[in-house]
Amino acid sequence: MVNDLSGLEVELLNNQVIEKGSHQLSWKADGHASGIYFITVEQGSYIQSKKVTFLK
């Protein structure tokens, strides 16, 4: 999921179960404003967030 700086969810990247292993997700942010966003991956009790800066 992608959240803006205020915590609002702006996009859901994937809502499916993925087999374990190495994976890659892409976010096409063309329709969003420049700014700071947080990309969060959740799997059971595992949660990881990364801060990204999007510049047009």
* Tally of domains within the chain: 1
- Domain annotation covers residue 48: yes
Residue 19 lies in a domain: no
pLDDT score for 22: 87
**Is there a domain that residue 25 lies in?**
no
Q: Which domain holds residue 56?
A: 1-14+31-56
CA distances to 19, 21, 30, 35, 44 from 3, rounded to whole Å, are: 24, 25, 15, 11, 19
Tens of pLDDT along the chain (56 residues)? 999 999 999 999 888 888 888 888 888 888 899 999 999 988 888 899 999 999 98
Within-domain flag for 22 = no
Question: What gap in Å lies between CA 34 and CA 14, rounded to an integer?
Answer: 22
pTM value?
0.80
**Structure-block tokens of residue 54:** 């999007």
Residue 21 belongs to some domain of the structure? no
Q: Is residue 24 part of a domain?
A: no
pLDDT at 14: 85
